[in-house]
Amino acid sequence: MATSTFKTLFKLLGGDQTLKLKDFPLDNLRIDSRKVKENDAFVAIKGSSVNGRKFIPEAISAGAVVILIETHKKSNDLKIDYLKKDNQLVIPQINVFQLSQRLSEIANDFYHSPSKKLSVIGVTGTNGKTTITQLIAQCTTLLNDKTAILGTIGNGIYNHLEPSINTTASAIDVQSLLADFVKKNVKVVAMEISSHGLAMNRVKGLNCAATVFTNLSRDHLDYHKTMSKYAQAKWSLFNPDEKEKHVSNSGKSIINYDDKYGKRWIEKLSQVTAVSCQPKFLRRLKALNTPYVGVSMIEYHDKGAKIHMESTWGNAIINSRLLGEFNVSNILLAIATLLTLDYPFFAVINMASFLKPICGRMEVIHSNNNPTVIVDYAHTPDALQKALQASRIHCKGSLWVIFGCGGDRDTGKRPLMAEIAEQFADRVVLTNDNPRTEDEMNIIHDIQQGFHNNKEIQVITDRAQAITQTLAKAKPNDVILIAGKGHEDYQIIGKTKYHYSDQETVKQLLGIESQL
């Protein structure tokens, strides 16, 4: 069944309805020519590295019946040219003024505002997005709500995800995926929203039931250039100023009070729930004129934590199976989101104790008489520090860390990662982590600038060998944190993506399956 028609598309673009245009069905908008099928409209915009106009012939050959291109001249807006197919001028090409900025809203209208028919929960922040969306999906699924996820690990119905390329999909793919979820009777969508996604207007047509802020620390400065611009991109998800909004509706806000940016943002928002995992802040939370979720005490142990929670909705004890203080924060933010959306208090609390660790997020692999291995996605200074601090709680011997830094990305964080590793680990091994087109030794050299005692640092660029040699040296009471890749099952060297998995490497060496 067609999603729309050519005349309908032209109308939602603002086109003149008195024009005599031939009408025909349209099934989908496509921004990737490789996904184009019969009766699709192909959107050819200029990306960060490739100009979509280059692929117009390919899209027409695949069956595209309409082409949208961007014009920077307002006078050319909605001008229609015709392109050849089978030597006939039959494919309308519409010039659209500021197409890139408008694309999310255009796609939203084309797919009949799917986010208004779903309970979309948008999660943003430097760290924790994947864990929180997964925890929300686990909980709502246990509560019998059909739930989907859009994010780093994949897109789709919970537990049936298709791999994703970006944390936040393109403006068109977001709306297309949401429309598909509506057809499949999904009720809840837990969605990661990256700073890139916000800055590039990928979610401008989105209606959220709730938006969540986790934390903000150094990352992506290769793109945003300054922390101020990075913070502004995140804030745009919540900003109540209509002129500055980066979503159609941000819904109710759930904000981490423990983050310095979060503290400031809570004061600017009206419909907001404040969340803290710091017992010292409980009194302040109670004094706020807003709903809150906090803790009076946290008891950490080898298998997780016992959380003494207090909130506007009631008090409870939660037995968490996730490691580390930052995961207490993630759990509380997930719980606060569901409570803010009027899920029953006791049902949410009962489900919370069943929540399982997330793939590649403080994922424990252990067997008798071998070191405990923890695989985590930590690839920022703040995330690495928190992962090491969490690992230390469960370490009775030496704490090892194996990490690297991505090539063609923010170089300024590399020595900061070294400082953190040296401060919080006993033994450090540097290795590759998606060097891409950079020389691997240049990346290692950048990291080494942050160490005060390079003699204690081992360099093994081959990641599998780094893990192999570390496991051979470590003792049974030691803990080895392998940081940076988490769920990723590839290594990018040059422009080639090779299959590689930290988990598979460890399991093969130890001959075991992952367990808690």
Q: What percent of the chain has pLDDT over 90?
A: 75
Quote the tokens at residue 172.
């068109």
Identity of the residue numbered 217: S
Assess contact for 137 and 158: CB atoms under 8 A: yes
Assess contact for 256 and 329: CB atoms under 8 A: yes
The predicted model gives 76-94 an average pLDDT of 93
Assess contact for 146 and 187: CB atoms under 8 A: yes
Q: What pLDDT band is residue 382 in, cutting at 50, 70 and 90?
A: confident
Assess contact for 241 and 145: CB atoms under 8 A: no
pLDDT tens digits along 173-185: 999 999 999 999 9
The predicted model gives 268-282 an average pLDDT of 95
Q: Tell me the pTM.
A: 0.84
pLDDT of residue 87 exceeding 60: yes
Least-confidence region, from 85-94, 199-208, 374-383: 199-208
- Specify the higher pLDDT residue, 101 or 308: 308
Assess contact for 317 and 310: CB atoms under 8 A: no
The predicted model gives 218-228 an average pLDDT of 63
Angstrom distance (rounded) from CA 218 to CA 261? 13
The predicted model gives 335-358 an average pLDDT of 95
The predicted model gives 313-334 an average pLDDT of 94
The predicted model gives 337-343 an average pLDDT of 97
The predicted model gives 180-194 an average pLDDT of 96
Angstrom distance (rounded) from CA 363 to CA 485? 12
pLDDT of residue 126 exceeding 90: no
Domains in the chain (CATH in brackets) are: 4-97 (3.40.1390.10), 106-277+325-341 (3.40.1190.10), 363-510 (3.90.190.20)
- Specify the higher pLDDT residue, 284 or 239: 284
3-state secondary structure of 509: helix
At residue 474, the pLDDT reads 96
Mean pLDDT in the chain?
91
Q: What pLDDT band is residue 348 in, cutting at 50, 70 and 90?
A: very high
Least-confidence region, from 202-216, 229-243, 271-285: 229-243
- The dihedral sign for the CA sequence 108, 114, 119, 123: negative
Least-confidence region, from 116-120, 287-291, 509-513: 509-513
At residue 314, the pLDDT reads 97
At residue 194, the pLDDT reads 87
At residue 228, the pLDDT reads 77
Angstrom distance (rounded) from CA 51 to CA 227? 29
pLDDT tens digits along 421-463: 999 999 999 999 999 999 999 999 999 999 998 767 999 999 9
Q: What pLDDT band is residue 516 in, cutting at 50, 70 and 90?
A: very low
Angstrom distance (rounded) from CA 275 to CA 259? 10
In 3D space, the residue among 191, 193, 182, 108 whose CA is nearest the CA of residue 146 turns out to be 182
The predicted model gives 351-376 an average pLDDT of 91
pLDDT of residue 48 exceeding 80: no
The predicted model gives 115-132 an average pLDDT of 94
The predicted model gives 351-370 an average pLDDT of 90
Q: What pLDDT band is residue 1 in, cutting at 50, 70 and 90?
A: low
At residue 135, the pLDDT reads 97
At residue 244, the pLDDT reads 60
pLDDT of residue 340 exceeding 80: yes
Angstrom distance (rounded) from CA 366 to CA 222? 37
User: What residues contact residue 262 under an 8 Å CB cut-off, 6+ apart?
Assistant: 213, 215, 216, 255, 256
pLDDT of residue 225 exceeding 70: no
At residue 243, the pLDDT reads 58
Best mean pLDDT range from 44-58, 232-246, 265-279: 265-279
At residue 514, the pLDDT reads 43
At residue 223, the pLDDT reads 57
At residue 319, the pLDDT reads 95
